[in-house]
């Protein structure tokens, strides 16, 4: 919306200087109320761009992880907007998280400090950022950021291929730290060894290898300042470990309604049961699998009213009954077996039934 700025008229020579109409901050057509952009790794731009409402936001794709004077790791996420901003606040659902500040009229930074903040973001919990535009329309925006550890600046042999983005996985319920970050490595040679990557574990998978890093291994890699080296068959591929923005989204609506928290779905829940709580990396990413690993079936299925349905036990019951009768002692010893009625109940009841309802 253009605003008319009127100045007190005054004469400069014979020219009257009066009202001027400045250019709008953002002259593009309004975008949707909510929008999302996923980094497919193919674009050459150094930023990810998303537009919603009357504002566009750009976020740096690559985020360097550094250490401060106390050797605490930290990362700085930098972004900019198409409109003048009056405020910025970063958070995760129901809790402030990170430190967001305005560093210019239309630019901002978010600092994530220490292992807790970085590890939480890397594990798949999105970071939310409230941005307040200084002028109408649509002055309130929320940005959602997904951040992952990633490899870049590759050098060395072409016979070893290392996947760039590390995926967070849940490795098992009995592990004291079940979170790992897995890199896919393809090579025709074996064994594969990893240097400058802490105590990363190498596991054969799908004709190649999965390299599993705990968060402490990521910190160890950053501490060395050297590239992580992958060696197989006498050849080596090296890569720098950094952080990368994999997805950004923005909305002018309630962020909790727009992006509800991830829930355990039936397929993932069944996968955790099939694997008996171990080797769960094939079931999906960390956040959803973690939820499913400790979930109750009634958390993921709809509750049902009481319904008592008869079932036929069939041959299993008949064969057991026949065996029992055949084994009954004779000669005055009492022994008998009547028929049995069997029923099923919904596993997840909408409310606990009374005894009268059950026997009715």
pLDDT tens digits for range 123-179: 999 999 999 999 877 789 999 999 999 999 999 999 999 999 999 999 988 889 999
pLDDT of residue 117: 95
Rg (CA), the chain: 30
For residues 169 and 175, the answer to whether their CB atoms sit within 8 Å is no
* Pick from 117, 225, 124, 239: nearest CA to 170: 124
pTM score, two decimals? 0.78
pLDDT of residue 108: 98
pLDDT of residue 331: 56
pLDDT of residue 342: 79
Distance between CA atoms of residues 60 and 72, nearest Å:
22
Distance between CA atoms of residues 187 and 158, nearest Å:
9
Distance between CA atoms of residues 225 and 264, nearest Å:
38
Looking at the chain, the whole-number percentage of residues with pLDDT higher than 90 is 54
pLDDT of residue 4: 36
CA distances in angstroms from 107 to 77, 123, 344, 354, listed in the order given? 11, 27, 61, 62
Other Cβ atoms closer than 10 A to 241: 26
The residue ranges of the chain whose pLDDT is under 70 are: 1-24, 42-44, 315-316, 329-334, 357-360
């Amino acid at each position: 919306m253009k605003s008319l700025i009127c100045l007190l008229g005054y004469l400069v020579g014979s020219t009257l200087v009066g009202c001027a109409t400045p250019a709008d901050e953002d002259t593009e057509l309004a975008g949707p109320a909510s929008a999302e952009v996923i980094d497919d790794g193919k674009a050459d731009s150094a930023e990810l761009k998303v537009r919603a409402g009357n504002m566009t936001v750009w976020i740096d794709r690559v985020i360097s992880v550094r250490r401060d004077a106390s050797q605490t790791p930290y990362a700085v996420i930098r972004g900019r907007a198409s409109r003048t901003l009056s405020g910025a606040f970063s958070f995760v659902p129901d809790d402030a998280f990170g430190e967001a500040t305005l560093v210019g009229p239309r630019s901002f930074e978010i600092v994530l400090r220490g292992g807790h903040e970085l590890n939480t973001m890397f594990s798949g919990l999105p970071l939310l950022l409230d941005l307040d535009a200084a002028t109408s329309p649509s002055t309130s925006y929320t940005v959602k950021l997904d951040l992952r550890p990633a490899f870049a600046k590759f050098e060395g042999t072409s016979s070893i291929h290392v996947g760039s983005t590390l995926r967070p996985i849940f490795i098992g319920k009995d592990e004291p730290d079940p979170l790992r970050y897995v890199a896919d490595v393809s090579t025709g040679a074996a064994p594969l060894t990893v240097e400058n990557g802490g105590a990363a574990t190498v596991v054969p998978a799908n004709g190649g290898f999965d390299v599993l890093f705990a968060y402490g291994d990521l910190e160890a890699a950053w501490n060395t300042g050297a590239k992580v080296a992958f060696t197989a068959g006498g050849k080596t591929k090296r890569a720098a470990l950094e952080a990368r923005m994999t997805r950004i989204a923005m909305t002018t609506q309630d962020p909790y309604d727009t992006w509800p928290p991830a829930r355990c779905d039936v397929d993932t829940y069944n996968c955790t049961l099939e694997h008996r709580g171990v080797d769960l990396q094939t079931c999906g990413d960390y956040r959803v699998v973690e939820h499913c690993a400790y979930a109750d079936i009634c958390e993921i299925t709809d509750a049902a009213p009481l319904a008592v349905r008869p079932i036929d036990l069939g041959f299993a019951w008949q064969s057991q009954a026949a065996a029992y009768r055949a084994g009954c002692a004779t000669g005055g010893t009492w022994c008998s077996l009547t028929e049995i009625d069997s029923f099923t109940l919904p596993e997840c009841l909408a409310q606990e039934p009374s005894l009268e309802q059950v026997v009715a």
